Amino acid sequence: MNILNMDKMEKIISLCKRRGFIFPGSEIYGGLANSWDYGPLGVELKKNIKDEWWELFVRGRGDMVGIDAALIMNPKVWEASGHVKEFTDPLVECKKCHQRFRVDQIYENWDKLQAEEKDVWHAPPCPNPNCRVMENWSPPLSSPKKFNLLFKTFLGPTEDASAEVYLRGELAQAMFVDFPNVLQTTREKLPFGIASQGRVFRNEITPGNFIFRTREFDLMEFEYFVRESDWQKYFEYWLEEMKKWLFHVGVKKDHLHFHEIKDGERAHYSKRTVDIEYDYPFGQKELYGLAYRTDFDLKNHQEKSGQNLTYTDKENGEKFLPHVIEPTFGVDRTVLVALLEAYHEEEVEGETRVILKFPHWMAPYKVAVLPLSKKPELSTVAEKICDDLRKNFVCDYDETQSIGKRYRRQDEVGTPFCITVDFDTLNDQAVTVRDRDTMKQDRIKIEDLKNYLNGKLQ
Ligand code: GAP
């Protein structure tokens, strides 16, 4: 298909597969329910995003510490947190085609209905177009049921109720459960945060839209502990910091929307939530969330575990449960918006040039070294340049196909600088450095390359 006729999501999905960013999971067996694997370039991209986040929000601040907790926790954690009871989506099933749907995704006003109205809900026709062509059914959809999103598994060799555990549905709980250990070992003073990154699992009813909604995904989030009287101040502060991070990722201001979630529509633990939404090609939907979790979690864990989770003010000895502001950042949605923002097409000499204009810090390769020909006198010099640069920058080495095709390939994966080694290099000890965005070329002495690139790759 001509790339100009494809929609943006199709183009991104195709580029991700073609260039090794993201592949369909278990592809040789026909895939598995919208699961995706990160390939060699995707893994670098994702790692750069996670590392940058950690540098900015954890190492770069004096008021944040990290943890890395177990994926499977004592099931009492999920009972105390309310997830066993409340972490649900409303599910309906078509009695004819047996497809299942999330009610709030097929019936726009679902969240606005009162509980009594939900009980007498009039089912709309089945949204499956193949089902719709078969006339005369009644009634098409079942009444809604609460469907719990936690994945269950068994710990150890016996598969009975006593061995039942959950894969974590969010990172947050470990940061509450580990709160007293962190306090004792770090001597942090309020306000301070505990940060974490890692995989979470949710048995979503309808995963879809590439990596937007999957059943396992990576999160980066922190719980920021404050005095109750300060929560509004820090809520506003973190909303601004989240915006700054998104601009740093390359997101344009106009593509963002801030959605104040109304009473009755928030997660069970939240007293205020702002969803940061993004204009995806498939509609305006959630990218990140910011929640005021009050002392809901610490209070419940203190009650259910019987352990003291209070904080003691070092100056006046006052003991209390801190309140919590929680900024949460989906990693895979960050990857998706980074790709959408970076994707550009330009017409150059009758051809479409596709470029991923990633911010330099995010690009999987920073530099590509391209000898003009495969002749040994050039490749020996080019390999040596690449080996030297590799000590400081992530480099690709490519000597296949014409130089034009190799430039296009590097543009498509977002490499900021291409270094061409040509026959003049053997005489002048210099190379051509081409800038991805401007296509401008500079002739630089090999001995000055490292300084030149360091200056450019800020
Ligand atoms: N601790 C709070 C929490 O987990 P959430 O809104 O349920 O909050 C956090 O999820 C973030 O995880 C979302 O803002 C979104 O970026 C991402 N996310 C949620 N469900 C997802 C899914 N099924 N696939 C990919 N990312 C998802």
Strand-pair partners of 195: 66, 222
**Residue 234 has what pLDDT?**
98
User: Which phi-psi region, left, alpha or beta, contains residue 335 (left: φ > 0; alpha: ψ -120 to 50)?
Assistant: alpha
Four-CA torsion 316, 317, 323, 326, nearest 10 degrees: 90
**Choice from 167, 211, 270, 286 to test ligand 1 binding pocket (greatest atom count within 8 A of CB):** 286
User: Which amino acid, residue 141?
Assistant: L
Question: Could you tell me how far CA 449 lies from the centroid of its own chain?
Answer: 34
Strand order of the β-sheet with 100-102 is 100-102, 88-93, 145-148
328 lines ligand 1 (CB under 6 A): yes
CB of 198 shorter than 6 A to ligand 1: no
Reduced 3-state DSSP string for 56-80: HHHHCCCCEEECCCCCECCHHHHHH
In this structure, of 67-76, 131-140, 369-378, 444-453, the range with the lowest mean pLDDT score is 131-140
DSSP 8-class letter at 95: T
Instruction: Give the mean model confidence (pLDDT) for residues 45-63.
Output: 98
CB of 277 closer than 6 A to ligand 1? no
DSSP 292-354: EEETHHHHHHHHHH-----EE-TTT--EEPPEEEEEEEEHHHHHHHHHHHHEEEEEETTEEEE
Both tokens of residue 361? 């810090």
Once rounded to an integer, what is the mean pLDDT over residues 364-382?
A: 97
**pLDDT value of residue 130:** 78
For 266-294, write each residue's pLDDT tens digit: 999 999 999 999 999 999 999 999 999 99
Ligand 1 pocket, residue 273 CB under 6 Å: no
> pLDDT band at residue 135, thresholds of 50, 70 and 90?
low
Predicted confidence band of residue 138 (pLDDT cuts 50, 70, 90) = low
pLDDT, residue 131, reads 78
Mutate to test the pocket of ligand 1, among 217, 256, 324 (most ligand atoms within 8 A of CB): 217
**Ligand 1 centroid distance, CA of 330 (Å):** 6
Least confident of 50-59, 142-151, 215-224, 233-242: 142-151
What atom in ligand 1 is closest to the CA of residue 211? 25
d(CA 53, CA 60): 10
The CA distance from 200 to 250, in Å, is 25
Residue pLDDT, tens place only, 227-268: 999 999 999 999 999 999 999 999 999 999 999 999 888 999
% of the chain residues with pLDDT over 70: 97
Rounded mean pLDDT of 212-217? 98
d(CA 250, CA 362): 10
Position 75 pLDDT exceeds 60: yes
What are 86-97's pLDDT values in tens digits? 999 989 988 888
Angle at which helices 331-342 and 231-249 cross, to 10°? 40
Ligand 1 proximity of 330 Cβ (cutoff 6 Å): yes
Q: How far is the CA of 18 from the centre of ligand 1 (A)?
A: 28
Q: What is the 444 CA–ligand 1 centroid distance (Å)?
A: 46
Ligand 1 atom 16, closest CA: 330
Q: Is 286 in the pocket of ligand 1 (CB under 6 A)?
A: yes
Q: Residue 412: CB within 6 Å of ligand 1?
A: no
Contact at 8 Å (CB) between 323 and 295? yes
Q: How far is the CA of 204 from the centre of ligand 1 (A)?
A: 11
Ligand 1 lined by 275 (C-beta under 6 Å): no
Give the Cβ contact number of residue 149 at 10 Å: 16
Lowest-confidence range among 45-49, 126-130, 363-367? Answer: 126-130
Query: For residues 230 and 320, what is the distance between their CA atoms, to the nearest angstrom?
Result: 14
> Does residue 274 come out as left (phi exceeding 0), alpha (psi in the -120 to 50 range) or beta?
beta
Q: Is the CB of 219 within 6 Å of ligand 1?
A: yes
pTM equals 0.95
How remote is the CA of residue 421 from the centroid of ligand 1, in Å? 46
Is a pLDDT exceeding 80 seen at residue 137? no
Average pLDDT taken over every residue of the chain: 94
Share of residues in the chain with pLDDT > 90 (%): 83
Residue 269 near ligand 1, beta carbon < 6 Å: no
Tell me, in angstroms, the distance from the centre of ligand 1 to residue 249's CA: 18
Protein residue closest via CA to atom 15 of ligand 1: 330
Q: Which residue has the higher pLDDT, 111 or 254?
A: 254
DSSP annotation of 448 reads G
